[in-house]
Amino acid sequence: MHQLTTGQPGSRTLRIELTLWNATVFWAELRSFRVGPEADKYRIDWTGYSGNLDDSMYIHRSKPFSTRDVNNCACGDGANCATRYIGAWWFGCCHNAHLNGQYFNYSADTFRSLDASGIVWYNPFGFSYSMMEAEMLLLPPV
């Protein structure tokens, strides 16, 4: 991801598409999106946000990537958010968006994750709503 977002001329946009269990699709775009090098723990950054839903990515800006075996979370208690919420992500302490969360294969009326470990976009859905689908698309340079 670092090479894809920094190794070519022009800035990249990350487009996020979220599909609810009723098939409604929401989107967000992070302009001038980039992933830092390994030495910077694959930290993410961007310069602008647009979309048809509230920005749940704002607390993840400038955060390093964490996995269950490499804890880069900013929690003062040493919590590993990747372990707690079952998936690697750019955690602060811990998340408002988590598109690598656990997938729940629910029917249309039971799409709840009681512990925020699902595919989460907090604003406006809350921590208990787990998306049916989440896509992260890296758009061509502009």
Q: Is the pLDDT assigned to residue 28 strictly greater than 70?
A: yes
Q: Is the pLDDT assigned to residue 11 strictly greater than 90?
A: no
Q: How far is CA 18 from CA 7, 83, 112, 128, 136, in A?
A: 28, 23, 15, 15, 9
State how beta strands 133-139 and 97-98 pair.
unpaired
Using CA atoms, how far apart are residues 31 and 112, in angstroms rounded to an integer? Answer: 31
For Cα atoms 98, 101, 103, give the angle at the middle one, nearest 5 degrees: 135
- What pLDDT, in 10s, does the model give residues 69-117? 999 988 888 889 999 888 999 998 889 999 999 888 765 445 566 678 8
Specify the amino acid at residue 36.
G
Domains parsed from the chain with CATH numbers: 1-141 (3.90.215.10)
pTM passes above 0.85: yes
- Confidence at residue 18, expressed as pLDDT on a 0 to 100 scale: 97
DSSP code of 112?
B
- Confidence at residue 35, expressed as pLDDT on a 0 to 100 scale: 95
